[in-house]
A and B are shown apart, each in its own frame.
Chain A
Amino acid sequence: MRKGWMKKRIITLTLLAVAVLFIVLGISQGDYYSTLQKAVRICLECIGIG
């Protein structure tokens, strides 16, 4: 059981590391600003107009 738990936790930590890597790479390619630009305007599609 302990072995299975270790394997599961290794996968979890790998996922967390990949997530952080993706976020850092995403920010470096300007994704934060493109998300911000989209989100600060009223999304007409979202509210059912566009």
Chain B
Amino acid sequence: MDKKKRLFIQLLSCLLHNANLPGFFTGRIYQGPAKGICAPGLNCYSCPGAVCSCPIGALQASIGQSGRKLPLYIAGTLVLFGALLGRGICAFLCPFGLFQELLYKIPSKKFKKSSLSRKASLLKYLVLGIFVVYLPLFYLAKNGVGSPAFCKFICPAGTLEGGLPLMAANSRLRVIAGALFGWKLFVLVFVAIASVFLYRAFCRFICPLGAIYSLFNHYALFGVEVNESECIGCNECVKACKLDTKAINDRECIRCAECAGVCPRGAVAVGGTGKEKKWRINRKES
């Protein structure tokens, strides 16, 4: 897939996730019925522009109340997005993924993937288990509702998209911001600096949403597919990938399809239907 096309889709998605543009000037968040629906990407629902809910925020809120009922609505929404696109959402639709990719364009020394970064990429499953599920479920606030621990202590998207614009527009919020805001600002700055040197640092090592979508990567309807009869196993696709992939559509593949351009046999393509005619056979060698 052409990089410019993907960038266009990412920008469009970012705009659609945050279509309530007047909110950035008034410091008020959108309160319409669409807020009850989850967006596919990591986009804080306290962002003044956000028109939908953040799936991770909504999942924690739902788990925090799950003493009463199972979080079926959010779970169903995540399974739906996962089964349709898998981690393709990270590559094409997530506004915070776009933010990191833009930072990576800053000229600097770039750290390549390694066996260590592949192991470190497992950290996001720990973040998912502890901060998104365990703490909201078992660490209850005084009112008996679980604390959204990931949003509270980690999420840099919340600080970037919600905290900073709201603080800029609302003087009362600036007054009550304390040590926690300082910590979250530190996390955001740390992630932003890391993203200049490491491709998609937050997505690779921390993002619990990416961890959830990765579970569906192999079965997602739309994304990158390999024509096994054309593949010669040269591994050029994996070598060219900046993420910690070991194979196309493994847990770290964000299905951006950039590897389609480096395959000498043209065996990688954006697919979904599995029809043979979709394959672009580009036999330079034969």
Interface residues, chain A, with chain B CB atoms under 8 Å away? 1, 5, 8-9, 11-12, 15-16, 18-27, 29, 31-36, 38-40, 42-43, 45-50
The answer on a CB contact under 8 Å between B35 and A36 is yes
The answer on a CB contact under 8 Å between B76 and A36 is no
User: Which residues from chain B contact A16 at a C-beta distance below 8 Å?
Assistant: 80, 83-84, 221
The answer on a CB contact under 8 Å between A46 and B72 is no
The count of A-to-B residue pairs whose CB atoms sit within 8 angstroms is: 155
Question: Smallest Cβ distance from B113 to chain A, in angstroms?
Answer: 27
- Docked complex Cα distance between A34 and B60 (Å): 12
The answer on a CB contact under 8 Å between B45 and A26 is no
- Docked complex Cα distance between A44 and B141 (Å): 14
For chain B, residues 220 to 237, give those with C-beta under 8 angstroms from any C-beta of chain A.
220-221, 228-229
Which residue on chain B has the smallest CB distance to residue A2?
B274
User: Which residues from chain B contact A21 at a C-beta distance below 8 Å?
Assistant: 76
User: Which residues from chain A contact B62 at a C-beta distance below 8 Å?
Assistant: 31, 34-35
Which residue on chain A has the smallest CB distance to residue B218?
A8
Which residue on chain B has the smallest CB distance to residue A24?
B76
When each residue 76-104 of chain B gets 1 if its CB lies under 8 Å from chain A and 0 otherwise, what string results?
11011011100000000000000000000
B127 within 8 A of A: no
The answer on a CB contact under 8 Å between B221 and A42 is no
The answer on a CB contact under 8 Å between A32 and B73 is yes
The answer on a CB contact under 8 Å between A31 and B53 is no
The answer on a CB contact under 8 Å between A46 and B38 is no
- Contacts A22-B73, A35-B61: A49 and B53 contacting too (C-beta < 8 A)? no
The answer on a CB contact under 8 Å between A39 and B35 is yes
The answer on a CB contact under 8 Å between B83 and A26 is no
User: Which residues from chain A contact B177 at a C-beta distance below 8 Å?
Assistant: 48-49
- Contacts A12-B219, A48-B181: A20 and B158 contacting too (C-beta < 8 A)? no
By size class, the interface of chain B is 35 or more
User: Which residues from chain A contact B30 at a C-beta distance below 8 Å?
Assistant: 40
The answer on a CB contact under 8 Å between A29 and B46 is no
- Contacts A18-B79, A47-B159: A32 and B36 contacting too (C-beta < 8 A)? yes
Kindly name the residue among A1, A25, A32, A34 whose own CB sees the greatest number of chain B CB atoms within 10 A: A34
The answer on a CB contact under 8 Å between B148 and A46 is yes
User: Which residues from chain A contact B116 at a C-beta distance below 8 Å?
Assistant: none
The answer on a CB contact under 8 Å between B73 and A27 is yes
- Chosen A-B contacts, 30 in total, with CB atoms closer than 8 Å, are A1-B228, A8-B219, A15-B82, A15-B219, A19-B76, A19-B77, A19-B79, A19-B80, A22-B72, A25-B72, A25-B76, A26-B71, A26-B76, A31-B62, A31-B69, A31-B72, A32-B36, A32-B37, A35-B58, A35-B62, A40-B30, A45-B147, A46-B44, A46-B54, A46-B155, A47-B158, A48-B163, A48-B181, A49-B173, A50-B180
B122 within 8 A of A: no
- Docked complex Cα distance between A12 and B71 (Å): 21
B117 within 8 A of A: no
The answer on a CB contact under 8 Å between A33 and B36 is yes
When each residue 151-178 of chain B gets 1 if its CB lies under 8 Å from chain A and 0 otherwise, what string results?
1100100110011001100000100111
User: Which residues from chain B contact A25 at a C-beta distance below 8 Å?
Assistant: 72-73, 76
